Amino acid sequence: MLRRLLERPCTLALLVGSQLAVMMYLSLGGFRSLSALFGREQEPAFDYSHPHDVYSNLSHMPGAPVAPGGLPAPQGLPYCPERSPLLVGPISVSFSPVPSLAEIVERNPRVEPGGRYRPARCEPRSRTAIIVPHRAREHHLRLLLYHLHPFLQRQQLAYGIYVIHQAGNGTFNRAKLLNVGVREALRDEEWDCLFLHDVDLLPENDHNLYVCDPRGPRHVAVAMNKFGYSLPYPQYFGGVSALTPDQYLKMNGFPNEYWGWGGEDDDIATRVRLAGMKISRPPTSVGHYKMVKHRGDKGNEENPHRFDLLVRTQNSWTQDGMNSLTYQLLSRELGPLYTNITADIGTDPRGPRTSSGPHYPLVPPKPSVRRCCSAGPQPGLALCLLPTTQLLMVHTDSFLIMKLTLSHFNHETESEGLYFPHPQLLTALRGM
């Protein structure tokens, strides 16, 4: 029986491929080492059981220097330290009670109109624009502002917070709103760093610096409570990310065609690779975030076209992005805590959703694909060997696929992950 199985080319190839994958997996130390290939830094130790108040140390921040006679001191401030002495590490994040805007303003007296801030006694080393896509999440926005302003002030940054509001009741488009936010923010100032920030994610450690990495795009929401404070898969790029304006334009920004929930994060991660850049990350112990619990949003149902769009990313990324962005700016308001930008970004050209459930390409599986899938080296993973000699490591929960060619098992070749949906394989995995 065993001999007959081994005589089948598919079975033999899968056994060999599985052994090679397990060897590579173990030699790299599992998914943590795979994550290191994407720029993970060394892990410092933090005690999250005794967090500090989010407004700690703000009373230690002096006002602007004053010369004799009460006049402002002359300019020529020294640069702020590379590592702010005001940082406290883990901070307490609470969802209740939700503070009022008046309370947040009172707690942040040094924040200027438009949500702007800069240190009074030193020259900041980074000017960071935080861009938040938004619609119908007022409680989440207040929680974010309450926690984010003191968090950023302790880092001694010059920063501005932009909230990009999608007008109307059409399907939500997070990535396109971020493109709008980047364009509008860069009209205000030559920002050093762009932080693309979901409204429902609150940082838990102020050592997670909101500055960019000149080497490439940076993904900072490494450890969310939603995922058990771990990275769901090595090329995950969702939640909170940071890019310099040059990096953002090099990858043509974010896609405009993802209407509804899902898919755009993986499209963006693929753009990073196609633009010749690599993702870097802070250590897991630093990149902690809590997600504000909420029900699904009306108008932000699962995007049934996301897999079809992801398949086309390699060919579409140079045409779909900042160079194809169209919108109508309806208003720009300088509020006490943020700059509010309201834009009409159009509607989904495919029309309203006919179903809120998940959608998979209706491609019948080839028998050879089903036969060549087996359990992977870790729960939640599967290994599939296709006739093209590609070994696919599949994250079965998210249906994201790591394509490994035989060259990746050569010790002289750096291992890379390319995540994309393969219609035949997706259908086969549903039946596993």
Supply the pLDDT for residue 25: 43
CB of 117 closer than 8 Å to CB of 159: yes
pLDDT tens sequence across 31-85:
443 344 344 556 778 999 999 999 998 876 655 554 455 445 446 889 999 999 9
Cα distance between residue 270 and residue 316, in whole Å: 11
Provide the residue type at 107 as one letter.
R
Copy the structure tokens of residue 372: 């060549």
The number of angstroms, rounded, from the C-alpha of 76 to the middle of its chain's C-alpha atoms is 37
Residue 327 has pLDDT above 70, yes or no: yes
pLDDT tens sequence across 246-269:
999 999 998 888 887 666 778 888
CB of 340 closer than 8 Å to CB of 333: yes
Listed in sequence order, the DSSP H helices in 251-401 are: 264-274, 306-311, 313-316, 367-371
Looking at per-residue pLDDT, the higher value among 261 and 3 belongs to 261
Listed in sequence order, the DSSP H helices in 169-259 are: 174-188, 245-250
Supply the pLDDT for residue 301: 55
Measured at the CA of 320, the angle between CA 198 and CA 219, to 5 degrees, comes to 35
CB of 241 closer than 8 Å to CB of 133: no
CATH number of 80-344: 3.90.550.10
Q: Is the peptide bond before 282 cis (omega within 30 degrees of 0)?
A: no
Burial label, 385 (beta-carbon count in 10 A; 0-12, 13-18, 19+): buried
Supply the pLDDT for residue 252: 93
pLDDT tens sequence across 126-177:
999 999 998 888 999 999 999 999 999 999 999 999 999 999 888 889 899 9
Residue 401 has pLDDT above 70, yes or no: no
313 confidence band (pLDDT: 50, 70, 90): confident
CB of 157 closer than 8 Å to CB of 124: yes
pLDDT tens sequence across 194-253:
999 999 999 999 999 999 999 999 999 999 998 999 998 888 888 999 999 999 999 999
Supply the pLDDT for residue 126: 96
Q: Where in the chain is the domain with CATH 3.90.550.10?
A: 80-344
Residue 9 has pLDDT above 70, yes or no: no
